[in-house]
Structure 1
Amino acid sequence: MSQRISERNLLPQKINLPVRLVLGLWSVSSKMLKLSRSLRPAAVLLRPPAATVQPQECLFTGPQQETRTFYEFRTYCIRPDQNAAFLKLTNEKIHLRTAYSELIGYWSVEYGGLNQVFHIWKYDSYSQRAKVRTALAQDPSWMSEYISKALPMLTSQDNEVTYLVPWSLLQKPPQEGGVYELVSFQMRPGGPAVWGSAFQAATTSHDAPGYGKLLGAFHSEFGLLNRVHTLWWYESADQRAEVRHKAHTDARVVAAVRNSVNYLESQRNQLMFPCPFSPIK
């Protein structure tokens, strides 16, 4: 009998806890769970952020200008009855102007604009140009011998500040004489980052043996934006016509031009003859 009692006592016994104690333990457990959940978002906020690589944004629309040198394009429209007189006066007095800054070239427009002259001036900086303009305004010879006589002969004046595109240099023609073509392209907004490569490919496809000679490619800084110009030299107007016909049958040129015209809004071509006093003849 005593042996049975001892074995029964070794078996697990059911423990009866007071109801209040059980409820108290349950309440504490619930509060601890809620506290743990509330602390979890705070731990996430305090966790140091993982290292991430931020993408570099392209804030410019094309190759950056590496030089301050710029070229001012000037176009004067002349009264039809004064065209010859204006060219004669300029030929006689241009030395008064070139004493202050460098003249690249001076042309009379033959096709693509009547009674017009086009000229290019080179400046090393905007401050240099400002000093030149101030000095000219104070030069009595320039003002009395040229400006006072030339201005009444004109109907309008226009100017544009341009830079050489990064892949172009200002070249001299292979020989004196010949004709010059200024081609102006109005491209779609977006800058060279959008159309620069296509424009370069189309332009350089023409700058090859058997075609014209590219003297310079320029893009506008002041004036109409997204505008680019190319200045070409040809032996004659007839040679230019032959080159034009040849380009239409050159698969290499046609492919480059077709890609470029996708970004083109308008185009203007002018055929010009150099004036006798032009440095580029």
Structure 2
Amino acid sequence: EENGEGPRHQAGARPVPAQGDGPDRAGLSASSQDSWFKSLFVRKVDPRKDAHSNLLAKKEENNLYKIQFHNVKPECLESYNQLCEGMLPKIHADPQYSCELVGTWNTWYGEQDQAVHLWRYRGGYPALTDVMNKLKQNKEFLDYRKERGKMLLARRNQLLLEFSFWNEPLPRPGPSIYELRTYQLRPGTMIEWGNYWARAIEFRQHNHEAVGGFFSQIGSLYMVHHLWAYKDLQSREDTRNAAWQHEGWDEVVYYTVPLIQHMESRIMIPTRASPLK
């Protein structure tokens, strides 16, 4: 179902979030309970004549993103960081490469001894191809890759587009911690997710914590990444709790939770080379 929209929730009365995501359902009225059951079982399919990437992505800029996850041998993490600090900023600063290093981090809480890199390619797939071809001719980069390979246990990447309603991630001063929340959605629900979050993002921009929102195009599909910035873990807790004070946030949580197959949270620390500090 790469093209078109999958099943959508039937709209009903304004709900109360399911248990574990907000107030308990025990206090729901009969009409609200009926709406809650309908949200689980009553669904419809709206025909679409365009790919969800065209419906959800920004039109004014042809940006493509690549996110890389590198699992590093524990004893090599510091050496790995130093190696990346010597190479990645050079690619970022060289005008012959149509790409920008958005951020580079080490995972603090989540999968340990992991590095995460986020790149932006201004010009889409042609820019990505051009950069890859040029790097194949760059001896310093090839030596870097060879040395890097000795330090890794596993690596994977995805190509992403950014949601039209999110901020473009731009360099910011720190110090900050970053949370990468990753959602594996049920196939066919990306449009529905986007419709709800186009409204929900308004509740999460008051403290400038919203950094970027992306959805996968190549790699693991129907995957969404939300990137947030906080001063510290307590600030994260306070900011997330404050969202529940805004009317409509509970409804967003209520309707989007059933779309998720799996979710993961990483707390990440920027490395010295990261433009996002």
Same fold (TM > 0.5): yes
Counterpart residue identity of residue 135, structure 1: K
Q: What SS is found at the alignment partner of 2:275?
A: coil
Structure 1 residues 250 and 69: alpha-carbon distance in aligned structure 2, compared to 1, 3 A threshold: closer
Note the C-alpha offset of 1:132. 1.3
Q: Give the aligned partner of residue 82 of structure 2.
A: 88
Aligned to 2:48: 58
Structure 2: 5+ residue runs without aligned partners? 1-45
Q: CA deviation at 1:186?
A: 1.4
Q: Would the aligned equivalents of 2:68 and 2:158 in 1 still touch at CA under 8 Å?
A: yes
The 2-side partners of 1:126 and 1:196 are apart by 23
Matched, 1:260 2:272: no
**How does the TM-score come out when normalised to structure 2?**
0.73
Match of 2:276 in 1: 280
Counterpart residue number, 1:133? 132
SS in 2 for 1:273: strand
Q: What does 1:134-149 align with in structure 2 at a 5 Å threshold?
A: 134-144=133-143, 146-149=144-147
Q: 1:221 aligns with which of 204, 217, 220?
A: 217
- Decide whether aligned partners of structure 1 residues 199 and 61 sit closer, same or farther in structure 2, where only a CA change above 3 A counts: farther
- Taking the TM superposition and a 5 Å limit, the aligned residue runs for 1:119-268 are 119-123=117-121, 124-144=123-143, 146-172=144-170, 175-209=173-207, 213-247=209-243, 252-268=248-264
- Unpaired runs of 5+ in structure 1? 1-55
Question: 2:106 aligned with 1:112, yes or no?
Answer: no
Fraction of identical pairs, as percent? 24
**Offset at residue 157 of structure 1 (A):** 1.2
Change (3 A) 1:218 1:64: closer
SS where residue 150 of structure 2 aligns? helix
Query: Counterpart amino acid of 2:237?
Result: A
Q: Residue 240 and residue 57 in structure 1: after superposition, are their counterparts in 2 closer, same or farther (change >3 A)?
A: closer
Alpha-carbon spacing, 1:266–1:202, altered in 2? closer, same or farther (3 Å): farther
In structure 2, the residue matched to 1:7 is none
The one-letter amino acid of 1:143's match is L
Tell me if the contact between 1:187 and 1:263 (Cα under 8 Å) persists in the aligned partners: yes
* 1:77 counterpart (71, 76, 80): 71
Helix, strand or coil for the counterpart of 1:205?
helix
- Richer in helix (by share): 1
Q: Root-mean-square deviation (CA), in Å?
A: 2.3
Cα displacement string for residues 3-30 of structure 1 (whole angstroms, at most 9, x for unaligned residues) = xxxxxxxxxxxxxxxxxxxxxxxxxxxx
Note the alpha carbon deviations across 1:30-58, whole angstroms, 9 max, x for none. Answer: xxxxxxxxxxxxxxxxxxxxxxxxxx952
> For this pair of structures, how many residues does the alignment match?
223
For 2:67 and 2:114, locate their aligned partners in 1 and report how far apart those are by CA, in whole Å: 13
Distance in 1 (CA, whole Å) between partners of 2:176 and 2:184 is 27
Name the TM-score, length of structure 1 as normaliser: 0.72
What are the Cα deviations for residues 235-262 of structure 1, in whole angstroms up to 9, with x where unaligned?
1122112333444566642232112112
Larger radius of gyration: 1
